[in-house]
Amino acid sequence: GGAGMAAVREVEIDPEGTFKYILVRLQRPGGGEQRDIVRGTKAAEFHNHIFEKVNPEMEKLGYECKCLGGGKIDHNSKDKKIRVFGLSTGYGKADHSVTVEILKKVYTDYEITWSDDKK
């Protein structure tokens, strides 16, 4: 596959609202190439629902997935602000600072912040 990891979008989150998110590490079996991606949606009641959707998609492309943790994202598209906070009971807390760096690549004109607040 010539497209490789570039074919995988780094960020897929809902355009508005507050929802759960996970940080996922993609890796080629046997090491080598790896990449961290952010996935979040209101449709997911629990963090593992997001992972259960992402995992098979990525396995089809030949990647192993590991969830690095989760939290919540508050996406305010009107004010161009994103806040990353909270944690996942099942996966633990993602490194929100890493999540913010990934989000900044996509939402270049946003103000993006994180905290360890639960709410």
Query: So which residues are the catalytic ones?
Result: 47
The Cβ of residue 29 has, within 10 Å, a number of other Cβ atoms equal to 8
- Alpha carbons 116 and 69: distance in angstroms, whole number: 13
> What are the distances in angstroms from CA 86 to CA 2, 21, 26, 72?
37, 10, 23, 5
β-pairing, 81-85 with 111-114?
A: parallel
66 labelled as ligand-binding?
A: no
Which residue ranges make up the annotated binding site for substrate?
20
**Annotation: binding site:** 20
